[in-house]
Structures are given as structure tokens and as C-alpha cells.
Structure 1
Amino acid sequence: MSLRRPRHLGWWAGAAFAGLVTLSLATGLVGHATVTSPSMAPAHDAGSTLVTTTLGTSRLDHGDVVVFDLPRSWSDAERQRLGTAPADASATDAMVKRVIGLPGDRVTCCAPGGALLRNGRVLDEPYLAEPSTEVANGTYDVTVPPGHVWVLGDNRRRSFDSRAMRARPGESGFLPLSTVRARVLLGWP
């Protein structure tokens, strides 16, 4: 006795997949974003399209790439850095960065050669645009408070991130978890 596949199984599977994709897009579970700066190169160059999900944003992991809404202080600092007027929000609504430190983590820069330390261990960062150096990272030793993360770009020489905010008077550089909009699933040029 041989088992036969129903004739229309492929059509039904395709229709179910299309329905799932439509439902995911309609509910906001799956979305997209566009990278607007070179700060995440080489993994995500400027102009790359990213597929994102809102699932799991409350349970981030080290190395996750996230899209986040800029807190007011970050937005003001980025506009000042770019020399744009406050009304020009389009350039600074959201950013894409990599999660380096989670609540309770101690992130230190730098170990010899410019490498980052997380909880006393040197980070392996194969995604970096170029090897770490003290010049690209600056010096800091921070412990991420509850409800926050420490985020950095992969192209450290061209990234406005937690380091840049920490360098501003009265700022800590910690990003509130409440501002994380989505996690990046994949991207392409």
C-alpha cells in the first residue's frame, strides 16, 4: 500500500503560508526598517532593508540587533551632532544598534588592544567593521541598570551610540528597554 499526497496539498500550504505572513504583517509581529547610516556596517550597510519582529523584545539577548525609538535626550544629541533643526525628526526617529550589555552586566572598555569586556570576559565581536581599538571605543566602565541596555554600532568609528551619550554631561548612555521597537531577524542590501 502506498501513501499518496493529496493533489492540492501544495496549494493549501502556500495559501496557509501567505495567510500567516499577512496576519504577521497586519498585527505588527513582522515589520521592516531601513538602515540610514553606516554605523552598522558591514552587517547592515546604509540603505539595507531589515526584516524585524516585535516578538521577544522584552527578552533580548547579547548580540541582538534592535530598532529603537530615540529617547528625547538621544534625539536632541543626534540632531545637535548632525546640525539638523528640531523639526527635522525624519533623520532621527529611530536607530539600529547591537545589544552589548543587558541589565546587571558590567561593560568595560578597554582590554589591551581595545577589546570590550563584559562581566570581566573579552568579547568576541566578529561582526565589527574593523578590529577594536582604544581610539574607536573610548574608555568606560559601566554597569547596566534594571530596565536598560547598552548598545553599540558595529562600525564603532561611525556610530552614535551608548558611548556617545555617556560622554555628554549628565547622561549615562543607557538605553531604556521601553524604547526598543523591534528585533532584527535579517537584512539585505
Structure 2
Amino acid sequence: MSSGSISLDGRDIAAVPLNALRNQLGVVPQESWLFRGTIAENLRISLPSATDSQLWHALETAQAADFVNELPQGLETMLSQGGAGLSGGQRQRLCIARAILRPASVYLFDDSFSALDTVTEAKLRAALEPELRGATVIIVAQRINTVVSADQILLIDEGRLVAQGTHAELLESSETYREIVASQLETDDAA
């Protein structure tokens, strides 16, 4: 960053020790990172003291409980490095469960819903809302339906902020946003 500052709870993050800053963040990167070990071990990376009940709650919120429950060993199912054998959506949901297991001030979902079908994504977003209440939630997304209910949408084109507002405000004020919405509606209608 060449100018300006980023504040968290009114404090410039440059003045916050790195470990303290990391403890306030829940991050789900675009690429799902799963490690060799059980599902429970993968989830407990974010909260080592988590009980099985807490794991199941996070899995339910992330819409992953059903498929984990169907696995012969449930939470004790061994995963290979990268989660080979799981679908992209299953991997994403496990990573979301891991991130929300530990309470955080800020959650960053970096295109974390892209491998989910629209029905599962809608259920997941509805389940996340009460769980993340009071936290700052940043969602990086390419699909409009992922951000349509956001308090603020920042439209970035080629690294530049070109529009900002709610969905309704952007429909009124941004031709680029309207074009994206129209193109995604056409794609949805064709499917």
C-alpha cells in the first residue's frame, strides 16, 4: 500500500503485533487448503481446543455436516494432502467451517463460494449471517448473488475502484454493474 491506512477497531493495523492481528482474522482463501490428517484435525487447526460439538456446529453452518456424516468415519475420516477425493465444493465448505470455528473480528472469504451450487451457497450464506453478526465480513466474489445483500459492494475493474454502494444503489448508478448483473442473469436463464 503506497498511501493511507487500514484500521481495525479504530487502531492502525501497522501498530498491531502480527500474531494479535492474525488472531482477529478468519480467512478462507480462494484455493482450499486441506492437510493430511483427519477432518477433525484439519478443522482444529484454527481452534485446537474445539470440542466435537463445536466442530459439528461449524460443519452444519458451512453446509458440510451431511456429507461428513455420510463418510464411514465421520470426523475421523483421513484426508490426503489437498483433500483429494473430495469435490471442490466439499473442500471449500470444510475450509469455511475451519475459519468460522474460531471467533474473529474480521472474516475474509476470497471467492470461497465459487465451487458451490447456487442453492447450497444461499443456504450457507443464510446460516453464516447469524454466526458472523458483529464481525466485519469481506467477500471477494465474481457472482452477483454472492454479494447482493452486502452493506457495501466495491466494484473493482482492472485494479481500480469504479463504483461503490448497495446492490440497489449500484443498479441505479453504475452501468458496469448493470452489465454484470444482466450478463449473469442471461447465464442463469440459459442454464
Same fold (TM over 0.5): no
Q: Which has the higher helix share?
A: 2
Task: State the structure with bigger RCO (CA 8 A, min sep 6), 1 or 2.
Answer: 1
TM-score interval for Structure 1 and Structure 2 normalised by the shorter chain? under 0.3
TM-score, length of structure 2 as denominator length: 0.20
Q: Which has the larger radius of gyration?
A: 1
